Chain A
């Protein structure tokens, strides 16, 4: 199997990537405008934020009571954390694209690439789930 026989997967990947990126950008613009225009009050007021954005992230979290991992979902009603929906969505798009092409690769018995796609999904999901979290 070579590059030529791969074009169906590339088109499927491109279609999902295109759609996912557009949706992600739309959410990002909407959520940032809501935050910047003060339509949705933030968890950390901007004047306060300016005093702590010089700190390392662990000290910043402690100073403002910011969550780690998916804890931002609890604060999603606040303008600043509303933006995390867009960021998280954009960071999930690649895994969704791999999920889209995995059954196609398996169906045409392209075992090596099906395994690569499956492993990539595992890596991305592990990263998203915070299994590969960082120390501080």
Chain B
């Protein structure tokens, strides 16, 4: 009996071309919604492309890593990112991201798919519910924050004004970044979706400084986890290169569209995409829709 459509029948060259196209769109949407590419890339490519999840997670990490590496110098020079805030958080996160990558590669594929689906659905929920505070109220620094010298002045180029900032709940922040690192390594997700709320709402970092510092932390966390995948030989250039090129190009277009597109609408599109990709990963993991 003739079976339905088989992925084996698709010529191989379709996949890198499709990857480039999908990554290009992810690059545009990621910039407009402020989520980076990795969180969309892994569930979408893992769910709808033929590559094994091991290769997709490695590509997702490298995608997020290259994006963060290329943006960080500009953010640091503009004082829109703080190395002083990033370093302690990145140290904890990079250790746990290695553990996360280790766990992710050890899990049976269907379990990893289900866990990825559940995580993506939780991220979509977080994006729906999370609030933001441009300049959070920080009544007092905690002891660790004082010891680490986590205070300063942030110059907002949009308003031309200086804002003093200081950090609280530093131990909670370190704990949060331990969890973020674990998830980033396990699923190959960039962690901007979690970094920004943790820095902004939990630790009291001004929003714009939190966004910039998030990228810097991500570049360190993803580097550590990426090495685990590189050392396993899980990097397929034919998957990685078109994806990086597509996202980088899309991100440039996205940055130009920022002024004309309504952020709220894009955010709703991203939540819908995450819900669909998360559900697909869950169904794939449970064997309902392989």
Q: Which residues of A contact B (CB under 8 A)?
A: 1-7, 9-11, 13-15, 17-18, 20-21, 24-25, 28, 31-32, 35-36, 46-47, 49-50, 53-58, 60-61, 66-72, 80, 83-84, 87-88, 90-91, 93-95, 101, 112-113, 116-117, 119-120, 123-124, 127-128, 130, 132-136
Contact = CB atoms under 8 A, between A and B. Distances in A.
Given A14-B76, A84-B235, A3 B152 contact: yes
B98 interface: yes
A106 to B, nearest CB: 14
Interface stretch (B187-195, B196-204, B223-231, B277-285): B223-231
B233 A68 contact: yes
* Among all A-B residue pairs, the 5 with the closest Cβ atoms: A3-B152, A50-B12, A127-B227, A18-B73, A83-B237
A50 to B, nearest CB: 4
A53 B239 contact: yes
Contact of B232 (A36, A94, A134): A134
Contacts of A57: 52, 54-55, 105, 232-234
Contacts of B244: 28
A13 B219 CA distance: 13
A4 B220 contact: no
Chain B binding surface SS class: helix
A87 B91 contact: no
Interface stretch (B21-29, B79-87, B129-137, B252-260): B79-87
A87 to B, nearest CB: 6
A93 B153 CA distance: 28
A67 B257 CA distance: 43
B109 interface: yes
Nearest to A87: B235
Main SS class of interface, A: helix
Nearest to A18: B73
Interface of B: 12-13, 15, 50-52, 54-55, 62, 65-66, 69-70, 72-74, 76-77, 79, 82-85, 87-88, 90-91, 94-95, 98, 101-102, 105-106, 109, 147-153, 219-220, 223-228, 230-241, 244
A124 B223 contact: yes
A94 B220 contact: yes
20 contacts: A1-B149, A3-B149, A3-B151, A7-B79, A46-B12, A53-B50, A57-B234, A71-B233, A72-B233, A83-B235, A87-B240, A91-B227, A93-B223, A124-B223, A124-B224, A128-B227, A132-B224, A133-B231, A134-B231, A136-B105
Contacts of A135: 102, 105-106
Contacts, number: 196
B148 to A, nearest CB: 6
Nearest to A46: B12
Contacts of A14: 72-74, 76-77
Contact of A90 (B65, B150, B237): B65
Given A113-B87, A132-B228, 9 more contacts: A2-B150, A3-B82, A7-B79, A21-B73, A24-B66, A61-B232, A67-B233, A87-B230, A130-B227
Contact of A32 (B51, B85, B237): B237
A136 B103 CA distance: 10
B109 A123 contact: no
Contacts of B87: 113, 116-117, 120
A7 B241 CA distance: 34
B228 A133 contact: yes
A21 B75 CA distance: 14
A46 B70 CA distance: 29
Contacts of A17: 69, 72-73, 76, 219
